[in-house]
Amino acid sequence: MDIDITTIILLASFGFLAAFIDSCVGGGGLISLPALLGLGIPPHLALGTNKLAGTISSLTSSITFMRMGKYDKKLMLVLVPFSFIGAWIGALTVLDVPQQFLHTLVIIMMGIIFIYTLLNKRFGFEAKFKGYTTFTISWGILFAFMIGFYDGFFGPGTGSFFVFLMVLLFGYDFVIGAGNGRILNLASNIAALAVFIWHGKVIFSTGLIMGAAMIVGATLGANMAVKTGVKYVRPLFLLVSLSLITKMVYEILFV
C-alpha cells in the first residue's frame, strides 16, 4: 500500500492509543485492527500486520512490567509455552477457516466477563494469591492454550482474557494480572506473527510504523498501570470490555 504523511499520522495515532490501552488491560486490537482494515488492507494481511505491531507493543510493555517486578516468573515459565503453541495452531487455522462462529462466541465470553467484573466490585482490587495447586495449574495450562489459539485465530480482546484469567483463577490483583497477561500475550503474538510472516501475510512498512508508535504508548501505559494501581486499571478493563462487545455486536448486525 502507498504510505503518505496522512497515513503515517493515522497509523502512529491509532498505534499509540492501542498500545497504551493494551499494555494495561488488553483490547488494543479493538483499535489497531479496525484502523488497518479502514485503510483498505485485506483481512488476512491486516491480521498479520497487526500481529507485527502488536508484538512490538507486547514486548515493550512486558519488559516494563518485568523490570518493575510486576509478574510471576515461575508461573510464566509454565504457561508461556502453551500460549505460544495455541497461537501457532490458531494462526494456521485462520488462514483457511471463516471467523463468524468464533466472533459470536467471543461476544458471549466478553459479556460474561464484563458482568462478573462489574458486579464484583472488589474483584481484582486485592491480591489473593496463595500459591499454586494442581487444579489452578491444570486449568491455567488449558486456558493459556485456548486463549493463545484465539489470539492466533482472531485476536482482539486477547489481553483482556489473559488478565481476567490471572485475577479469577490465580487470585492476583489487576496490576500483577496485567503483567502476567502481557507476557502471555507476547508469546502468542510471536507465534502467530511467525506463521503470518511464513505465509506472506505481513506488510512490514505499515506494521513497523504502527509498532514504533506502540513502543511509546506501551511504555507510558504500563508505567501508569503500575503507578496508579488497581483503581485505574479496573475501570479501564470494564471500559475496554464493553467497547469490544459493542463493536462486535455492531459488526454482526450492521456490517
User: What are the pLDDT digits (tens) for 194-218?
Assistant: 999 999 989 999 999 999 999 998 8
**Residue 153 corresponds to which cell in the numbers above?**
485465530
Residue 82 has a pLDDT of 97
Average pLDDT over residues 8-20: 88
Residue 88 has a pLDDT of 94
pTM score of the predicted model: 0.80
**pLDDT confidence of 149, banded at 50, 70, 90?**
very high
Q: How many CB atoms lie within 10 A of CB 96?
A: 6
Return mean pLDDT, the chain: 83
Average pLDDT over residues 241-255: 72
Burial class, 63, CB count within 10 angstroms (exposed 0-12 / middle 13-18 / buried 19+): middle
Residue 148 has a pLDDT of 94
Which residue's entry shows cell 479496525?
Answer: 34
The CA dihedral of 207, 73, 69, 61, to the nearest 10 degrees, is 10
Residue 29 has a pLDDT of 76
Residue 110 has a pLDDT of 64
Average pLDDT over residues 216-242: 76
Share of the chain above pLDDT 70, in %: 82
User: What are the pLDDT digits (tens) for 107-143?
Assistant: 676 677 677 667 766 654 566 777 788 999 999 999 9
Average pLDDT over residues 40-52: 84
Residue 30 has a pLDDT of 72
